[in-house]
Structure 1
């Protein structure tokens, strides 16, 4: 657990339990994942306990499982609270460790290339509405807690967090993990889930497919040439779901895999390190109240 995590992350994730020496009740809690910018955390507590992050209630499964995550530039300290049926609580403060990202500066780009037409902007807006709707379902599935596997075995050509600055104007960071591969190569589901979106021709991302893994955790696959599934299909981990392509704004055949917790963009490389919840060993801590 917490292998290769910066010291600050370990302190944030483990040492900052607010435990009262006089409290008699005990509350179970286990967290897996890196408390770091772009990180995903899977938690497990006793069934029936309520969980909140910064006073916002989190979905908790009948097994006591829940998920949360941190954005690319998150530098805030977050307050995690576990509350049992008696109203007693356990608090933990999570401060994501900071990361450095690759920034590439490019000058002399034609402004026409940098400014989409009015028609293109309409398409971009429509695409965004569809994607947000597909990611907003937040089902009760707990497929996110069974561990993830890479959707493709090709060479990694792009990483999370990198960013280009054109003519002094920062563009959106890259939020995915890019895999090189020939057109038509199979893309496999990194975890089980339900298909919530398939669009063959979005403006930027081309063939775009989204899988709901439960509790706001989704996988998005971009630039696909074809889909092997339909919206509403239940897919298994490792099942072929699509084919690599170069659709949308792409310079060549590749897979761009992205992971979200609701609207928070996570680093897929970190998601791959979280184990199946069946291996979790829940620790008991005294409540703070």
Structure 2
């Protein structure tokens, strides 16, 4: 499959592939699919979305002033591990039936893509959806996939699980109080993967749910309830 003339992915054995557009995508995109029976092309028009502005005060500081060499080394190592997980390219198509919500009951406290102003300073957009729920609330895999990172003590994210749901469509589940899966495990849709917490850099109990596809930040809520192809 080609996007604006560049190869981006290939279909699974069942013929399914994922294509997504991030927060800052342009107004149009040209896609081309090549197959045994020929090729098909289409130009897509991409609608604009409105994003919130959120002001946050009192967020826990990881360090004040200059970080120690040990802390800098930890940040670099965790950044490398997260980048490696987001670079996963599992040749499955667990995404094909859409997602269930990872929590049974929740309140959205921050939508995807909003501008954040933390203690008066503008920060990059928030590329996740914050789902507030009591500490200990079970978190379930919204679709099947391969666990590509599982750690209960990341500096910024706290308890973190990352799952490749197929073809590099990787979800991250942040601030968990419990991590119930291990790296390399296959999980099924609806399987418990952890519990809501306020670990890492968080102001209160919630699940920050993030989704990335091949370097593009996606809104995971847009996948909830999507029916599978006929």
TM over 0.5, shorter chain: yes
In the superposition, relative to structure 1, how do residues 130 and 106 fare at CA in structure 2: closer, same or farther (>3 Å)? closer
Offset, 1:76: 4.8
Aligned residue for 1:133, secondary structure, equals: helix
Offset from partner CA, 1:78-104 (integer Å, 9 cap, x none):
210122336x43211123211111124
In the superposition, relative to structure 1, how do residues 114 and 199 fare at CA in structure 2: closer, same or farther (>3 Å)? same
Q: Distance in 2 between matches of 1:104 and 1:176?
A: 13
Offset, 1:139: 0.8
Task: Give ranges in structure 2 of 5+ residues lacking alignment.
Answer: none
In the superposition, relative to structure 1, how do residues 121 and 169 fare at CA in structure 2: closer, same or farther (>3 Å)? farther
Q: 1:258 aligns with which of 202, 205, 210?
A: 210
Offset from partner CA, 1:96-130 (integer Å, 9 cap, x none):
211111124679x9x99786625544433322211
Offset from partner CA, 1:210-251 (integer Å, 9 cap, x none):
011111111110001111111111111111110111110011
User: How many equivalent residue pairs?
Assistant: 225
Stretch moving more, 164-173 or 229-238: 164-173
Give the TM-score normalised by structure 2. Answer: 0.88
In the superposition, relative to structure 1, how do residues 141 and 219 fare at CA in structure 2: closer, same or farther (>3 Å)? same
Aligned residue for 2:17, secondary structure, equals: strand
Q: 1:192 aligns with which of 123, 144, 151?
A: 144
Aligned residue for 2:101, secondary structure, equals: coil
| Residue number in structure 1 paired with 2:46 | 96
- After superposition, residues 126-205 of structure 1 pair within 5 angstroms as 126-152=77-103, 153-166=105-118, 169-205=121-157
- After superposition, residues 236-251 of structure 1 pair within 5 angstroms as 236-251=188-203
- After superposition, residues 25-174 of structure 1 pair within 5 angstroms as 51-57=1-7, 58-85=9-36, 88-104=38-54, 117-119=67-69, 120-152=71-103, 153-166=105-118, 169-174=121-126
Stretch moving more, 251-260 or 71-80: 71-80
Give the TM-score normalised by structure 1. Answer: 0.71
Aligned residue for 1:66, secondary structure, equals: coil
Instruction: Please identify the structure whose Cα radius of gyration is greater.
Output: 1
Offset, 1:170: 2.7
Q: 2:159 aligns with which of 195, 201, 207?
A: 207
Aligned residue for 2:18, secondary structure, equals: strand
Q: Distance in 1 between matches of 2:95 and 2:216?
A: 15
Q: CA RMSD in A?
A: 2.5
Q: 1:270 aligns with which of 208, 214, 222?
A: 222
* Contact kept? 2:62, 2:156, Cα under 8 Å: no
